[in-house]
A and B are shown apart, each in its own frame.
Chain A
Amino acid sequence: MSDLPFLLLMIAVPAVGAAVVAALPRGRDQLARQVALGVSLLVLVLAVLAAVAFDTAGERFQLTSSWTWIADFGVSFALGVDGIALVMLLLIGVLVPVVIGASWQDDAAGIGDVATDKRSMKAYFAWLLLLEAMMVGVFAATDVFLFYVFFEAMLVPMYFIIGSFGGPRRQYAAVKFFLYSLVGGLIMLAAVIGLYVVSNSQLGEGTFAFDALRGLEIDPGVQKLLFLGFFIAFAIKAPLVPFHTWLPDSGSEAPIGGAVLLVGVLDKVGTFGFLRYCLPLFPDASRFFAPYVLVLAVAGILYAALLAMGQSDMKRLVAYTSISHFGFIALGIFAFTTEAATGAVLYMVNHGIATGLLFLVVGMLIARGRSRQIGDYGGVAAKAPLLAGVFLVAGLASLALPGTNSFVSEFLVLIGSFPTQPVFTILATAGIILAALYILLMYQRTMHGPPRGVLLQEDPAEPLPAGGGATATLAAPTRSLRVLDLDRRELAVVAPLVALIIVLGVYPQPLLGLIEPAVSATMSDLGGTAR
């Protein structure tokens, strides 16, 4: 059983699934949905089995397999996971079925907030599955070249998801997303090649195998350049301030499912990259640049939190909160302690769940009100208590309330960073006040107060009272406005995430047990913790 090539299957299954879904005849949307859901659940099962097969006391990289791919470049199709990658795979496994479930509805509201009359639903599911395959590949690759290939190729499905199924400014957002990531990726490509060249001169044979590259002794000057090459790509992906402005646009224009995967998983590649590639491969450069990175991280925490408060568009707001959270993750990684880095990895998972849920409920709200403007809502809790409740849970998880999963990770990041970086940690801790502010402000404005705004409009054709300009192209909902609260399907979609938020908030130790060995190995690559 444990001999199964789990990782290869996790890439191949959704890829084949995508092809199957794409090949279905037009109009068979229901079948496409079912196939997509089935495939994504299968991937989840595989991920869980892989986690079961993983031995926390064993080798760092497990479930490894390797095939020569491009011999001339020294490239192998090498897969393997450590604890860090494994938890990300689990996250992918959980989020994709949830996203597919959330996009189940026939009408436009099911996918996003825009009319999708001309677009075929099956294309959406095909892209989602392809994206899943790419995401698995990024985390499972143990060959830097292979990582890079997935890193870039991943852009394509997301580009189409945003561009074809997004909001009114989807074209702008899609191109912006693609170009930002591409610029970063290309700079990284230069560094990847540089790394290869170094390996060529030191090992006598160029290689991209992570384990071999880890053993290189790179000249500090070269290290700095290579570090920057990788770092910029990851900083754009993560994103850190000031490379962040693509995310609010992409996050707000993407269909909800795309947005969830974008901030939930895709952006984690950036922080994952810091930990997997920047630190172990360029330890000296990492130390050299750490103060600067920490400045970016902490500035991002505070800056993005303040910006989140200033947003009137809910999806943009959530996107900004994510930027703030990515600051925490970066802080945890560049504090160079096992506790903080473990916390950062857990943060990556938890943020995927919490912000994923937040995006989902925001999407469900938007599907009802056809507006992304906070000002168009008010008093929703009175009409849709379940929706409000789930919204609150997501919000509380986002502000890292104890008892929710995010608390554990944020706490770990901060407590782990404090010994080495007290000043930055104190500043970052102030960010938790801002987190409470932006979440509660949004919650109060939308859910509390007397019912008002778009939800009171009986006739969907009537123009909206506020924000009409921006919402003019939003699709008319097909469901009755009277049915405001979450229905069974929506509950089924959010329930797993809510459950995970609570369970991981109370008992995170299994995940920590998976993560810690890999983090310790990273820290020892770095030359021991800096304490």
Chain B
Amino acid sequence: MIEAPDLSLAALAPLLFIFGAACVGVLVEAFWPRDTRHPVQVSVALVGTVGALVCTLLLAGSREITAGGALAVDGAGLFLQATIAGLGALSLLLFAERSLDPARSAFVTSAAVPAGSPRDRELLTSTRVQTEVYPLASFAIGGMMLFTAANDLLIMFVALEVLSLPLYLISGMARRRRLLSQEAAVKYFLLGAFASAFFLYGLALVYGATGSVRFSDIRSASLADGTDILLVLGLALLVVGLLFKASVAPFHTWTPDVYQGAPTPVTAFMAACTKVAAFGAILRLLYVAFGTAEWTWRPLVYGVAIVSMIVGAVLGLTQTDLKRMLAYSSIAHAGFLLTGVIGLGAGGEGSGLAATMFYLLAYGLTTLGAFAVLTLIRVGDGEATHLSQWAGLASRSPLVAAVMALFLLALAGIPLTAGFTGKFAVFRAAIEEGAWPLALVALLASAVAAFFYLRVIVLMYFSSPAADGPTVGVPGLPTTIVLAITATATVALGIVPGSVLDVAEQAAIFVG
């Protein structure tokens, strides 16, 4: 008699909601008439994400391990799931924006049509919209949420694939500059699959070393025999796979290319949500499964954090494309986040977990907002992402420039913005654990990084506008909502972060 695994449906509600919405989306795609499909898809996806968000909020405080030990429902997981769901919903709103592009969507009408072909040119001006992206994105969001809740390596791997595969696809679906977009998709796919292979091999080695892929089993095994070479190698490969997703140097190389090539709403989605999911998985893996072997990986995380911060900050200096610049910024921020991971302390009692979670939320909101502003500035049919095109924006459109400046200052970590609170939290955690040299490097790196954020402000405010400068699109309702929420949150998390910090503090618990 095979015992049915215990399934706490309530605890799984967020996942069920989003995956259900994704499945409904597939059905809608198949059966709903094309001309009214778009609003329906948007609604379904939003219902899924918002519903998932509400579910996680309702679940707040619960701690259990369910689904036969495969899933953990705990404070940290729920906080991150909520973050992903919320940021995902905002990203979906960006997907749904229809008033900026003259062709009423940022996505290609038919991805199968070769770029540049007569049919493609014909479709370019049609107002037919692509609606497959919504279920795809919903699946990705679901995968991400699963990723942070996975309590065994296999589920983690499956979640990794569930979140990655749709992303590969939708990064190739840009309406404009399709060649770049397709190239991004190919690169992302090949490298992503390559990284998955590493993760998987790590999984296999850990399985071999411990006889299980369950985190709790790994934990007890590593406690008993922390120096097992197989186990250590497995850990190394697992970490490689996760660092890739989190775009931590030296596994960051795909990030600039993909961020630049992908449609901007997708880039925003990846920058905000993937980062959260990847770090959720890293935190869980390192602290739940390998928490007792902390001393083995601490130097490693220490090292990659430094490399990532330096690579991100230094390489960002000479970028001329805003999306690419924000990609390097994301690499640097991955490094800052890792200082928070260091700050977890032995066994995770430190304030690092709460700090990292807060940082993820703050960074996600800010970067999402920055990319949202990017979609507004257009030249010809596409977005004006080259820096020089932003010269003198402030005199053309003070409000947009001010909002962008706010996001940039937040990314630079200037006080009274969310970025500062987040940085303060993670650096505090790191210093509390005695990692002040790391914090010092991080601070210097953020000073270097500040230069390229400032450069954009200099261009927007202190340069005279170019004669044939870009136009500033009037955002439709979805983008307006996104900008309003992200900007407000960026300021609010900077000035009155108390309640959110409290929530993060209370939620900073892993089960397992």
Contact A186 B446, beta carbon cutoff 8 Å: yes
Contact A175 B454, beta carbon cutoff 8 Å: yes
- Does A521 have its Cβ within 8 Å of any Cβ on chain B? no
Q: Which residue on A lies nearest to B502, using beta carbons?
A: A72
Contact B447 A190, beta carbon cutoff 8 Å: no
Contact A153 B427, beta carbon cutoff 8 Å: no
Contact B439 A179, beta carbon cutoff 8 Å: no
- 20 CB-based A-B contacts, threshold 8 Å: A69-B496, A70-B421, A70-B497, A71-B498, A72-B502, A73-B428, A149-B415, A152-B414, A152-B415, A152-B420, A164-B462, A175-B458, A178-B454, A186-B444, A186-B446, A187-B440, A190-B431, A193-B428, A194-B431, A196-B428
Give the docked Cα–Cα distance between A152 and B423 (Å): 14
Nearest chain A CB to B171's CB is how many angstroms away?
34
Nearest chain A CB to B89's CB is how many angstroms away?
26
- Does B505 have its Cβ within 8 Å of any Cβ on chain A? yes
Residues on B with C-beta less than 8 A from A69 are 496, 498
- Does A163 have its Cβ within 8 Å of any Cβ on chain B? yes
Residues on B with C-beta less than 8 A from A73 are 424-425, 428, 501
Q: Which residue on B lies nearest to A189, using beta carbons?
A: B443
Bits for A167-191, please: 1 = Cβ < 8 Å to B, else 0. 0001100110011001100110110
Contact A153 B424, beta carbon cutoff 8 Å: no
Residues on A with C-beta less than 8 A from B443 are 186-187, 189-190
Residues on B with C-beta less than 8 A from A491 are none
Interface centre among B354, B415, B421 (most CB of A within 10 A): B415
Contact B415 A190, beta carbon cutoff 8 Å: no
Binding site for B on A (CB under 8 A): 68-73, 118, 148-150, 152-153, 155-156, 159-160, 163-164, 170-171, 174-175, 178-179, 182-183, 186-187, 189-190, 193-194, 196-197, 200, 225
Give the docked Cα–Cα distance between A404 and B247 (Å): 61
Nearest chain B CB to A153's CB is how many angstroms away?
5
Bits for B459-477, please: 1 = Cβ < 8 Å to A, else 0. 0011110000000000000
Give the docked Cα–Cα distance between A190 and B446 (Å): 12
Residues on A with C-beta less than 8 A from B431 are 190, 193-194, 197
Residues on B with C-beta less than 8 A from A196 are 428
- Give the interface size class of chain B: 35 or more
Give the docked Cα–Cα distance between A189 and B421 (Å): 12
Residues on B with C-beta less than 8 A from A179 are 447, 450-451, 454
**Which of A149, A160, A183 touches B447 (beta carbons < 8 Å)?**
A183
Bits for B486-512, please: 1 = Cβ < 8 Å to A, else 0. 000000000011100110010000000
Contact A186 B447, beta carbon cutoff 8 Å: yes
Residues on B with C-beta less than 8 A from A70 are 421, 497-498, 501
Contact A153 B414, beta carbon cutoff 8 Å: yes
Residues on A with C-beta less than 8 A from B320 are none
Residues on A with C-beta less than 8 A from B502 are 71-72
Contact A171 B458, beta carbon cutoff 8 Å: yes
Interface of chain B, main secondary structure: helix
Interface of chain A, main secondary structure: helix
Bits for B60-77, please: 1 = Cβ < 8 Å to A, else 0. 000000000000000000
Q: Which residue on A lies nearest to B464, using beta carbons?
A: A118
Contact B461 A163, beta carbon cutoff 8 Å: yes
Bits for B404-424, please: 1 = Cβ < 8 Å to A, else 0. 000001001111100011001
Give the docked Cα–Cα distance between A72 and B499 (Å): 9
Residues on B with C-beta less than 8 A from A189 are 424, 427, 443
**Which of B395, B446, B505 touches A72 (beta carbons < 8 Å)?**
B505
- Does B432 have its Cβ within 8 Å of any Cβ on chain A? yes
- Does B455 have its Cβ within 8 Å of any Cβ on chain A? yes
The 4 closest A-B pairs by CB, nearest first: A186-B443, A149-B415, A72-B501, A163-B462
Nearest chain A CB to B355's CB is how many angstroms away?
9
A-B pair number, CB within 8 angstroms = 95
Binding site for A on B (CB under 8 A): 354, 395, 409, 412-416, 420-421, 424-425, 427-428, 431-432, 436, 439-440, 443-444, 446-447, 450-451, 454-455, 457-458, 461-464, 496-498, 501-502, 505
Give the docked Cα–Cα distance between A186 and B409 (Å): 14
Residues on B with C-beta less than 8 A from A183 are 444, 447
Given A118-B395, A190-B427, A193-B427: A72 in contact with B498 (beta carbons within 8 A): yes
Contact A190 B395, beta carbon cutoff 8 Å: no
Interface centre among A171, A182, A189 (most CB of B within 10 A): A189
Contact A175 B455, beta carbon cutoff 8 Å: yes
Interface centre among A148, A178, A187 (most CB of B within 10 A): A178
Residues on B with C-beta less than 8 A from A164 are 461-462
Residues on B with C-beta less than 8 A from A178 are 450, 454
Nearest chain B CB to A204's CB is how many angstroms away?
14
Residues on B with C-beta less than 8 A from A182 are 412, 447, 450
Give the docked Cα–Cα distance between A70 and B424 (Å): 12
Q: Which residue on A lies nearest to B462, using beta carbons?
A: A163
Contact A153 B428, beta carbon cutoff 8 Å: no
**Which of B436, B497, B505 touches A194 (beta carbons < 8 Å)?**
B436
Residues on A with C-beta less than 8 A from B457 are 159, 163
Contact B444 A163, beta carbon cutoff 8 Å: no
Given A156-B414, A171-B458, A178-B454: A190 in contact with B498 (beta carbons within 8 A): no
Q: Which residue on B lies nearest to A150, using beta carbons?
A: B415
- Sample of 15 more A-B contacts, CB < 8 Å, known A153-B416, A182-B447: A70-B497, A71-B501, A72-B501, A149-B420, A156-B409, A156-B414, A163-B458, A164-B461, A170-B462, A171-B463, A174-B458, A175-B454, A190-B439, A190-B440, A193-B424
Give the docked Cα–Cα distance between A73 and B421 (Å): 10
Residues on B with C-beta less than 8 A from A152 are 414-415, 420
Nearest chain A CB to B410's CB is how many angstroms away?
12
Given A72-B498, A153-B416, A197-B431: A174 in contact with B440 (beta carbons within 8 A): no
Residues on A with C-beta less than 8 A from B415 are 148-150, 152-153
Contact B432 A197, beta carbon cutoff 8 Å: yes
Residues on B with C-beta less than 8 A from A187 are 440, 443-444
Residues on A with C-beta less than 8 A from B427 are 189-190, 193
Residues on A with C-beta less than 8 A from B455 are 175
Nearest chain B CB to A77's CB is how many angstroms away?
10
Give the docked Cα–Cα distance between A164 and B424 (Å): 30
Contact A171 B501, beta carbon cutoff 8 Å: no
Q: Which residue on B lies nearest to A163, using beta carbons?
A: B462
Residues on A with C-beta less than 8 A from B354 are 72
Contact A171 B462, beta carbon cutoff 8 Å: yes
Q: Which residue on A lies nearest to B413, using beta carbons?
A: A186
